[in-house]
Amino acid sequence: MENRRFRVGSVAVLFTVVLLCVAIFAALTVTTALADERTAQRYGEHVYRQYACENLGQQWLAQARAYQAGLGPLPENTRQEADGGLSVSIQGDSMELRIRLSPEGQLEQWSCTPQWQPEEHWQLWQ
Amino acid sequence: MNERGGRLGHLIPVLLFVLFFVLCCGVLTGVFLRAAALRQQTEVYSAAVQLCRNQAEQYRAGQAAPGSYWYDEDFRPTPAGEGAYRVEITQTVQEQAAGQLCTGEIRAYDQKEQPLYALEAAVFLPGEEAAHGE
C-alpha cells in the first residue's frame, strides 16, 4: 500500500511539472501572438498615415503646378526658392512630407518620413 | 469490506487529480487555440495591408485600373473569384486647373467578403496625360 501511494505521488508530481511547463508555453504563445497583433496594427496605421500624408502632397502638387502654369495662386505654406522652384513641408499625422519642385515643374524631392519624438521623461542612467 | 472501502478511499485523490489534470489540459488547449486564431487573424491583416500597399503603388504608377483583383495566400494573382483575397479599387477624379487629381480607394476583402483593410491613394496627373487607368 505504501509503495502504491509512493508511485501515485510521483506521477502526480511529474504531471504537475508537465502542466506547469505547458502553462508557461501557453502564456508565452499568447503573449507573442498579442505582440504580433499589436505590431501588425501599428504597421497598418503607419501605412494609412503615410498615404494620407502623401495624398496631401499630391493635392499640393496639383496646386503648385497650376501656380507655375499661371492658372492659380501660390499654395499655402509654400516657399519660393531663389531659383524659382517651389518647396513645402507638409505635416501629417506624425508624418512629414517634404517636396521640392524645380522651376520647370520637375520633382526634385519627395521624402515622407515619420516624425520622431524623443522620450524625455525616462531616466535610464541616473 | 473495510479493505474495499480503503481502496476506494485511496482512489478518490487519484480521480480528483485526473479530473484536475484533464481540466487543466482543456484550459491550456483553449489557450493554444486562441493564440493560433489570433496569429491567423494577424497574418490575414498583415497580408491585407501588404496587398493594399502594393495595389496603391501600382495605381499611382498607372498600372492598376479601377476594378477587382484576386490573390492567393502567396500574393499571386488568381482568376476572378478563386483567390483568398480580393482587392477592389474605386476611383474618383477631381478636375484641377492644371490636370486631374485621381483618388483611388483601395479595399481588401477575404473570401467571405469581410473587409480587412482600406487605403486611399491619390495621384496628380498633369493636363496632357490621359485620365488615370484609362
Q: Which of B8, B19, B22, B24 to mutate to test the interface with A (most CBs of A within 10 A)?
A: B24
Q: Give the whole-number percent of chain A exceeding pLDDT 70.
A: 91
CA distances from A96 to A39, A53, A89 (A): 22, 7, 7
- The Cα–Cα gap between B108 and B119 comes to 9
Report the residue of B41, B96, B116 to disrupt the A interface, i.e. the one with the largest count of A CBs within 10 Å.
B96
Element (H, E) at A63: helix A2-68
Q: What does the domain layout of chain B look like in residue ranges?
A: 2-133
Residue that the C-alpha cell 502553462 belongs to: A23
Runs of H (alpha helix) within B61-89: none
What's the pLDDT at B5? 61
Burial of B53 (0-12, 13-18, 19+ CB in 10 A): buried
Q: Do A33 and B52 touch (CB under 8 A)?
A: no
pLDDT tops 70 at residue A16: yes
Indicate the pTM of the whole model.
0.82
Beta bridge pairs of residue A110:
A99
Most confident of A24-28, B14-18, B96-100: A24-28
Report residue A107: phi and psi, to 5°.
-75, 120
- Indicate if the pLDDT at residue B129 is higher than 70: no
B96 closest CB neighbour out of A4, A12, A62 = A62
Query: Which residue among B38, B119, B126 sits closest to A65, beta carbon to beta carbon?
Result: B126
- Decide: helix, strand or coil at residue A111: strand
Nearest to A42 by CA among B85, B52, B45, B87: B45
Band of pLDDT at residue A126, cut at 50, 70 and 90:
low
Whose cell is 498600372? That residue is: B63
Predicted local distance difference test score (pLDDT) of residue B119: 95
Task: For B72-88, write each residue's pLDDT tens digit.
Answer: 988 889 998 888 999 99
Give me the pLDDT at residue A119, please: 76
Region A6-16: mean pLDDT is 76
φ, ψ of residue A96 in degrees (nearest 5) = -130, 130
Output B39 or B5, whichever has higher pLDDT.
B39
Check pLDDT > 80 for residue B130. no
Q: CB-based burial of residue A74 (10 Å sphere; 0-12 exposed, 13-18 middle, 19+ buried)?
A: middle
To the nearest whole number, what is the mean pLDDT of chain B?
Answer: 88
**ipTM field:** 0.82
Question: Are A28 and B64 spatial neighbours (Cβ–Cβ below 8 Å)?
Answer: no
Is the pLDDT at A2 greater than 80? The verdict is no
* Burial label, B71 (beta-carbon count in 10 A; 0-12, 13-18, 19+): buried
Position B11: which residue type? L
Mean pLDDT of A115-119: 79
> What CA–CA distances, in Å, run from B108 to A65, B51, B57, B69?
33, 7, 15, 9
Q: Measured between alpha carbons, how far is B24 from B96 in angstroms, rounded to an integer?
A: 66
Nearest CA in chain B to A46: B49
